[in-house]
Amino acid sequence: MNGDREQTGGAVKERPQVRKQEPTLYKVVLLNDDYTTMEFVMRVLESVFQKSPAEAYRIMMHVHVNGRGIAGVYPWEVAETKVDTVTSLARDAEFPLRATIEEA
């Protein structure tokens, strides 16, 4: 064997090119409903999706007006955890707020 170096027909590459593997990303989509308060949705966007108050307001209003909107884009397991957290916070507060995952 040749350590970590690639065989390149006589020459030895000291710094083989490292190709980063980009993880597949997924959108966490927030759904509108008639009962969850705007304030609660903004609090979820700030605490679960690390949005600024201004960005949280913008996303919440987008969902309110258009029926759905992207809360964030993450690798699968992160997206799944965010959806679980939203679902659990909503259930505890007795709001029907829902979030789903879509391929980005």
Binding site for ligand TYC (CB under 6 A): 30-34, 36-38, 41, 60, 63-64, 97
Q: Which is nearer to ligand TYC, 1 or 54 (CB)?
A: 54
> Could you give the CA distance from residue 74 to residue 91 in angstroms, rounded to a whole number?
23
Considering the complex, what minimum distance in angstroms separates the CB of residue 69 from ligand TYC?
7
Q: Which of 14/34 has CB closer to ligand TYC?
A: 34
Closest separation between CB of residue 52 and ligand TYC, Å? 17
Work out how close the CB of 57 gets to ligand TYC at its nearest, in angstroms, rounded to a whole number.
11
Tokens of 65: 């007006």
Report the helix count and the strand count for the chain, using DSSP H and E. 3, 5
Q: Give the residue among 58, 52, 41, 47 at the shortest CA–CA distance from 82.
A: 47
Q: What tokens does 102 get?
A: 């879509």
